[in-house]
Amino acid sequence: MRIVGLTGGIASGKSTVSNLFKSNGVPVVDADVVARDALKKGSGGWKKVVAAFGDEILLENGEVNRPMLGQIVFSDPDKRQFLNRLLAPHISSGIFWEVVKLWLKGYKIIVLDVPLLFEAKMDKFTKPIIVVWVDPETQKKRLMGRDKSSEEDAGNRINAQMPLDMKRDKADIVIDNTGSLDDLNEQFQKVLIEVSKPLTWTQFWLSRNGALIILASLTSGVVLCIKALS
């Protein structure tokens, strides 16, 4: 199967592109959704985070107060890295099983929507890698407008991530989202054509259909050997 990596930065428009893939019938594994599941009350990730950051990060219903936790870690690089280390095994495991489920359903192309694709070194499992890029000033303005945050808070959250220019340099495909939604959709249609091209032979053999052909061939070979020996 072809596993397409999709990443960007906060307020870059990555989620919009992710939704465009979904609306065009391409399944998306969203790391943010997996991360939310990893923090659900009673989960292994929840227990680790509460033990590390204390009960004060919990809401009355026992769920993690995600905005509060975000404020704590975005302003402190050490705490942010610590949180990432705590949750990384749970998120990686969740993503893996979501990919397996889609593989078993026979999908040949899926998209991994991962904000920390490069930081988590998950880029080595994806090809091509799509980066949704905007210039820093546009990114900050959109973030402040979306979250009603101060310039300082917006700057802290942006600076907590790998710069978009650096991600752009690592990308196979760059979507420039500094323009309108129509501009974005026009670029997306070209990207969709690119990622929908026929699988390479390697990708085909790693797909469910390829695996079934290999299994059928091995089974046939075993049957022939048994007949020859009987």
Most confidently modeled range among 48-57, 118-127, 155-164: 48-57
Q: Taking the model in full, what pTM does it have? A: 0.83
Place of tokens 């950051």: 53
The mean pLDDT value for 156-163 works out to 90
Q: How far apart are CA 85 and CA 55, in angstroms?
A: 19
Tokens for 144, please give them: 């402040």
Q: How far apart are CA 208 and CA 186, in angstroms?
A: 32
Contacts of 54 (CB under 8 A, 6+ apart): none
Q: Residue 214 above 60 pLDDT? A: no
Q: How far is CA 195 from CA 118, 143, 157, 174, 185, in A?
A: 20, 29, 31, 13, 15
Phi/psi at 64 (5° precision): -70, 135
pLDDT one-digit tens code per residue, 104-114 = 998 989 999 99
The number of beta carbons lying within 10 Å of the beta carbon of residue 146 is 11
Q: Does residue 64 carry a pLDDT above 60? A: yes
Neighbours of 221 (CB within 10 A): 10
What the block records as the tokens of 78 is: 């050490």
Decide if pLDDT at 206 tops 70: no
| Alpha-carbon distance values, 121 to 1, 34, 125, 197 (Å) | 20, 17, 8, 25
12 contacts 132 by C-beta, under 8 angstroms: yes
Instruction: State which amino acid sits at residue 112.
Output: L
| 222 or 59: which leads in pLDDT | 59
